[in-house]
Amino acid sequence: MPETLTVTDNRTGKTIEVPISDGTIPAMGFRQLKSSADDFGLMVYDPAFTNTASCRSAITFIDGDVGILEYRGYPIEELAEKSTYLETAFLIIYGHLPNAAELAEWTHNITYHTFVHENIRKFMDGFRYDAHPMGMLISTVAALSTFYPDAANVDDARSREIQTVRLIAKMPTLAAFAYRQLHGLPLVYPDNDLSYPANFTSMLWKMSEAKYAANPVLERAIDILFILHADHEQNCSANAMRAVGSSRPDPFSATAAAAAALYGPLHGGANEAVLRMLMSIGDKKNVPAFVKSVKSGEGGRLMGFGHRVYKNYDPRAKIIKRTADQVFEITGRNPLLDIALELERIALEDDYFIQRKLYPNVDFYSGIIYQALGFPVEMFPVLFAIPRTAGWVAQWREMIVDSEQKIARPRQVYTGDRKKSYVPIGKR
């Protein structure tokens, strides 16, 4: 069976044959179809890239119909159970599970790059007292590029290694600084004796004690949440990382762009939106009326439901639901959980959601855990950005060395006026 597609242009009768490879056809193959000699050629129109593969990638596999997520071929369920975030970050970036020596070296490198330049403290001071921590994170990660001019050498493999370590090591520090700034608390420096998640909790919550003792259950819960959020193939922020990175700025600037994409309520801001939604519902008994208002369009969307790729239960949501029980044993049960469970129950039985294949996504339960851990809702997208940095970096590194990639530059269908003559202001 030939792996090709034959297309006839009914405007001219011309027939072309384009190759099919990996279930895709090259969009450039259509350019040869022209309605006249001076026609630019046929383009494909795909706003929001709903059916366009923009790259080849070996990092993350998703089968949205069945609800499968794998990093480098390893199922998310196994990684969440057996791995750590740092090991998973190595896997995502380098393509294989590290051996003991590789993991030790990687952990050492990340641990010893957690400090940030003192001037970052001054930036933090410059933010208004109620600045959103995601705004602070985006700004300070962009600012890192000014401290590391060597990061501009994106074609130098060694430079890419150093920036990779710096980014993964420093994001929790910037995030914790933003949290402490929000609370008017003195900033806490990294503690290199601690694991990645324990050091993060120390920078967040340490007060006057000489050493912060992280609760091991909560430390593990944060690590699992980090594993679940580490990558998700070509989502909006990964696409931003690749698109911005394709003009070859330093990766700190590209990461700031990716984090900005993550900030939106339809992406990483969704867990914040879920919490606000649950709080506004207020009680289990109000759930049916709320679902009704969602269906009629008056109540907005059911946040934390639906996904561009998953048309089944998001596998990450299942793991988070389980992790929530362990967290609640320590922190006490978050009363919003009952509202969430009732929402899920009613929505999954409702035709509107069944027909559209709308299931809980990763954000539906993550906010409830974050709140139980004591985080204000503003911190939720920040908690997503820290682990997603591994994914952004992996996507960026893959893009930089991909010979098929060029500067990302889509085409448009122009719908405006043409060939007008300038009218002097007195005659308009």
Closest to ligand CMC by CB, 302 or 368: 302
> For residue 144, what are its two tokens?
């890192």
Query: Three-state DSSP class for 263?
Result: helix
Buried-exposed string 125-135: b where 16+ CB fall within 10 A, e elsewhere: eebeeebbbbb
Binding map of ligand CMC across residues 327-366, x = CB under 6 A, - = no contact? -----------------------------x-x--xxx---
> For residue 327, what are its two tokens?
């967290």
- Interface with ligand CMC (CB under 6 A), residue from 172, 304, 315, 387: 304
> By C-alpha distance, which of 92, 76, 82 is closest to 320?
76
Active site residue 46: no
The DSSP 8-state label assigned to residue 115 in this structure reads -
**Is 124 an interacting residue with respect to ligand CMC (CB under 6 A)?**
no
**Is 311 an interacting residue with respect to ligand CMC (CB under 6 A)?**
no
Closest to ligand CMC by CB, 218 or 294: 294
CB of 363 to ligand CMC, least distance (A): 5
Binding map of ligand CMC across residues 225-264, x = CB under 6 A, - = no contact? ----------x-----------------------------
Q: In sequence order, what DSSP letters do the residues of 266-292 get, joined into one string?
A: TTTTHHHHHHHHHHHH-SGGGHHHHHH
Question: Between residue 24 and residue 63, which ones bind ligand CMC under the rule CB under 6 A?
Answer: none
**Is 177 an interacting residue with respect to ligand CMC (CB under 6 A)?**
no
Q: How far is residue 309 from each of residues 49, 84, 210, measured CA to CA in Å?
A: 12, 26, 47
CB of 51 to ligand CMC, least distance (A): 12
Closest to ligand CMC by CB, 199 or 389: 389
- First CA to last CA across the chain, in angstroms? 64
Calpha distance 86→96 (Å, rounded) = 13
Q: Using an 8 Å Cβ cutoff, are 143 and 253 in contact?
A: no
Question: Between residue 260 and residue 289, which ones bind ligand CMC under the rule CB under 6 A?
Answer: 266-268, 270
CB of 300 to ligand CMC, least distance (A): 8
Active site residue 108: no
> By C-alpha distance, which of 110, 115, 78, 114 is closest to 97?
78
Catalytic positions: 267, 307, 363
Binding site for ligand CMC (CB under 6 A): 235, 266-268, 270, 294, 301-308, 356, 358, 361-363
